[in-house]
Structure 1
Amino acid sequence: MADEFALPDLGEGIEEAEVIGVLVHAGDMVEADQPLIEVETEKANLDVPSPHAGVVEAVLVEVGEVIRVGQPIVSIAATNGASAAPAPAAGAPAPSPDAGSGAPPAAPAPAAPAPSQPTPIAAVPASAPVAPVLLEPAGRSVAASPAVRLFAREIGVRISDVPGSGPGGRVSIDDVKAHARALLTQLYASPAAAAPPAAAPPPPAPAPEAGVPPPAALPDLAAFGEIERERMTPTRRATARNLAQSWAQSPHITLQQKADVTELDARRRELRDRVAESGGSLTMMPILMQVVTRALAEFPRLNASIDMATQEIVYRRYIHVGVATDTERGLVVPVVRDADQKSLTELAVEIRELAERARDRKLGIDDMRGGTFTISNLGGMGTGFFTAILHPPQVGILAVGRAEREPVWMGDGFQPRLRMPLGLTVDHRLIDGADAARALGFIVGALEEPPELVV
């Protein structure tokens, strides 16, 4: 008897995911923990493994479908650890329910005549010449990087149909291009090519979050000219939902101040080669993170959360700092765990590695869980002061702008000083303005008169 396997819990707050790859087909033998489908969640791409060995009886989802936690994705008949025979072909007799019980097997039904030609792939007429690149061995798992999968989705190619030329059958971008060219050749060679399938209807709008007003109806923009609609990615949907919830539930206040980092930057330049020897990049971010961890220890409410359901303040006894990171698919916030216990070199190495994994779509769910405070640095883009939005359930975020040299009166004349704009945004339900001012002053003071930097 087959069991339906549902999409498991993917982590805190994640309720849905988009299917970006189906890695098995009906009739495939699968092992325990073998990937069944690949999904894109709000922040990461994940393989969903099989719970046990068995034979896939049905795949219940398709690429592009948005599925929710608990929704069935495949139907698998367990083999109980035994080596199962391949699934019977269409028209073959099913095994007797009394097999292995000692009773004589029932006479098999006559086999159905074999089809005169192989079943063509979807949208390709049987009369078209079938190129070898259109076929793949049944049951294989596709080995391909996230970038290759993204490219295949963008040009409308199903990655599971592309045979790989790399080691172990790994699929490259060139393989995807060759497969796409073969598909086009077949379609144009056929006098009766099938019409493209209709676009899938957009998923239903999610129910409004508690405390978030329902979105206003969009006016008819097509009345004023040509428009184009693009489906929001899971990352963009999550960003829109979470930030709307944050803005609606948390009264934000932002305090801004400039820090003179002239001496700090000079010291940073002296130490950056030593840090680079360990694989890190000593930008201002690791130093800011170290300063922020001291501020969170000094002002523990900045590291806390507010539980309105129980009317309690939840103080965390750990400090995990998120780094807002810009990627092609949108904003992600990987987390440096136990940041207060790490040296500048360790912070520099980990921040660089997390940023690279974020941009390569290699972050896991755990890499973005559990943050207690966030730093958002737009200084590299030339931005000055800006207001950041809180990342719930956090109650604080530091916005960092571009440091610039400015003339500053030093008592006996003006001198050029490197000054960095900072903005501290807090949840006013928990943090009073005076407390926020003291915390920002602490951060500014630590940057202007830093203790000896130990790498």
Structure 2
Amino acid sequence: EVEVDDPLVTVESDKATFEIPSPHAGKITKVLVSEGDKLSEGNDLLEMQVGNDAGDEEDDTDDAEAKDAESADESPRKQSAGASDKGSASGKDDVPDVPQPGAKVHAGPAVRKLARELGADLNRVKGSGPKSRIIKDDVEGYVKAQLQKTQGGGAVAGGSGIPGIKLPDFSQFGDIQRDAMTRMQVATANNMQRSWLNVPHVTQHEDVDFTDLEAFRKGLKAEGEKRAVKMTPLPFILKACAHALTALPQFNVALDMERKEIVRKQYIHIGIAVDTPAGLMVPVIRDVDKKGLWELAAEAQELAGKARDKKLKPSEMQGGCFSITSLGGIGGTAFTPIVNSPEVAILGVSKAAMKPVWDGEAFQPRLLCPLSLSYDHRAVNGADAARFTTLLAELMGDIRRLLL
């Protein structure tokens, strides 16, 4: 027996684990999936008896055909998989044998349409969905494998025609251990490689005087304890970046190279990189320019906690205009973060340190924080990058400027 919004199944995508709730109250009569199954939006999860009549034998069976998932933030409306990313409750990937030509193919209309567009024979595609259903990723993977075969690549190409790196037999040098990469590690590696290969990166560095900001922040400790919110430097950096994105809107764009257009965003959503035991995750804080410091601090604290617990929803990791990644809690003097494409810039924050600064008459001890701004040189030129970091230094050097 389940009530409305009771969790039915836990699904793990590339970077999140989330529960699919029940849209109805009723009795579960049959479970159609098993632990480890790969799911796409629209896959059947279960059958349930709905209604107050205990003798009602009519089952409410959800979507029989898989839908073509357009976005991962659509809320599940039925007892079907509601994420566009494939989900798996464990690491098992049991793949059936390839069906024989002429055999019945288990695939939805959207998958059949995709196969026709790509010229793929569904009889030759392995289905990895529930009950060996062929899903979109199966078709794309099959086409990719066939292209690699016809192009004669021994090692898998790294992208854009770049030959792959063939590994030696490391066991000849000593003992080794092989561990399977997690889904998140694979997704992160692919995303980083894609961005690095497609985006011409340049990094601008700047030292920011945090002395007064840090004194003000520490003065908020008592108020933060009352609010149960810790005021870190991040909210100040978020507000400064939002101000800079407004002043220099060329940083708040995406490049549509297929249509030769610049997409100018009229909103300011900023992603914050969170280091978790499962890997790096980037939840997105929306409308940063419209929120105060305490609101940003509370939201950043909540999202970071959900990231570490793998409770982020797909919608909470989408829509970013700009990203901030901080290594200040660990160390380092500078680094070159990789742009999170299709964004065109990312700010790296290193560890602040006390250094002597000449004031015209004498050296004064000041708390300097190194910033590293990596940007897509197709969208942003070097002069504008220097203006961006200079503006950040002015804003964070005297936080009163955020009020102007």
Mapped partners of 1:291, 1:48: distance in 2: 37
Q: Which moved more, 1:209-218 or 1:389-398?
A: 209-218
Offset at residue 362 of structure 1 (A): 1.9
Structure 1 residue 405 corresponds to structure 2 residue 354 = yes
Structure 1 residue 220 corresponds to structure 2 residue 140 = no
Offset at residue 223 of structure 1 (A): 2.7
TM-score, normalisation: structure 2: 0.68
Q: Does the residue aligned with 1:374 lie in a helix, a strand or coil?
A: strand
**Equivalent residues of 1:30, 1:55 under 8 A apart:** no
Mapped partners of 2:44, 2:193: distance in 1: 30
1:301 is matched with 250
Matches for 1:250-269 after TM superposition, within 5 Å: 250-269=199-218
Q: 1:389 aligns with which of 338, 346, 371?
A: 338
Q: Does the residue aligned with 2:214 lie in a helix, a strand or coil?
A: helix
Cα deviation, 1:199-227, whole Å, max 9, x if unaligned, reads xxxx9996589748574333222232222
Offset at residue 246 of structure 1 (A): 0.4
Structure 1 residue 311 corresponds to structure 2 residue 311 = no
1:56 is matched with 30
Offset at residue 271 of structure 1 (A): 2.8
Q: Does the residue aligned with 1:246 lie in a helix, a strand or coil?
A: helix
1:283 is matched with 232
Matches for 1:175-194 after TM superposition, within 5 Å: none
**Equivalent residues of 1:212, 1:245 under 8 A apart:** no
Cα deviation, 1:166-222, whole Å, max 9, x if unaligned, reads xxxxxxxxxxxxxxxxxxxxxxxxxxxxxxxxxxxxx99965897485743332222
Letter aligned with residue 443 of structure 1: L
1:239 is matched with 188
User: Alpha carbons of 1:426 and 1:410: their partners in 2 closer, same or farther (altered >3 Å)?
Assistant: same
User: Alpha carbons of 1:343 and 1:85: their partners in 2 closer, same or farther (altered >3 Å)?
Assistant: same
**Equivalent residues of 2:159, 2:197 under 8 A apart:** no
1:373 is matched with 322
Structure 1 residue 444 corresponds to structure 2 residue 393 = yes
User: Alpha carbons of 1:49 and 1:229: their partners in 2 closer, same or farther (altered >3 Å)?
Assistant: farther
Structure 1 residue 334 corresponds to structure 2 residue 296 = no
Matches for 1:124-163 after TM superposition, within 5 Å: none
Structure 1 residue 38 corresponds to structure 2 residue 38 = no
Mapped partners of 1:331, 1:272: distance in 2: 28
Mapped partners of 1:35, 1:315: distance in 2: 39
User: Alpha carbons of 1:231 and 1:412: their partners in 2 closer, same or farther (altered >3 Å)?
Assistant: same
Mapped partners of 2:31, 2:243: distance in 1: 56
Q: Does the residue aligned with 1:379 lie in a helix, a strand or coil?
A: coil
Offset at residue 228 of structure 1 (A): 1.8
Q: Does the residue aligned with 2:289 lie in a helix, a strand or coil?
A: helix
**Equivalent residues of 2:35, 2:90 under 8 A apart:** no
Mapped partners of 2:326, 2:311: distance in 1: 21
TM-score, normalisation: structure 1: 0.61
Letter aligned with residue 17 of structure 2: N
Q: Which moved more, 1:226-235 or 1:432-441?
A: 226-235
**Equivalent residues of 2:395, 2:401 under 8 A apart:** no
- Percent same amino acid among aligned pairs? 39
Offset at residue 238 of structure 1 (A): 1.2
Q: 1:69 aligns with which of 22, 33, 40?
A: 40
RMSD: 3.3
Letter aligned with residue 228 of structure 1: Q
1:192 is matched with none
Letter aligned with residue 299 of structure 1: L
**Equivalent residues of 2:203, 2:372 under 8 A apart:** yes
**Structure 1 gaps, min length 5:** 1-28, 88-151, 157-202
**Equivalent residues of 1:212, 1:244 under 8 A apart:** no
Mapped partners of 1:212, 1:234: distance in 2: 25
Offset at residue 277 of structure 1 (A): 2.4
Offset at residue 453 of structure 1 (A): 6.9
Mapped partners of 2:167, 2:393: distance in 1: 44
1:359 is matched with 308
Offset at residue 270 of structure 1 (A): 2.1
**Equivalent residues of 1:209, 1:245 under 8 A apart:** no
**Equivalent residues of 2:18, 2:312 under 8 A apart:** no
Mapped partners of 1:286, 1:431: distance in 2: 25
Letter aligned with residue 56 of structure 1: K
User: Alpha carbons of 1:73 and 1:244: their partners in 2 closer, same or farther (altered >3 Å)?
Assistant: farther
Cα deviation, 1:395-420, whole Å, max 9, x if unaligned, reads 11100011100111221121111111
Q: Rg larger in 1 or in 2? A: 1
Cα deviation, 1:18-71, whole Å, max 9, x if unaligned, reads xxxxxxxxxxx8888765542211221023457887632643x442x5x25369
Offset at residue 79 of structure 1 (A): 5.3
Q: Which moved more, 1:405-414 or 1:293-302?
A: 405-414
**Equivalent residues of 2:32, 2:47 under 8 A apart:** no
1:93 is matched with none
Offset at residue 229 of structure 1 (A): 1.9
Q: Does the residue aligned with 1:317 lie in a helix, a strand or coil?
A: coil
**Equivalent residues of 2:357, 2:364 under 8 A apart:** yes
Mapped partners of 1:406, 1:352: distance in 2: 30
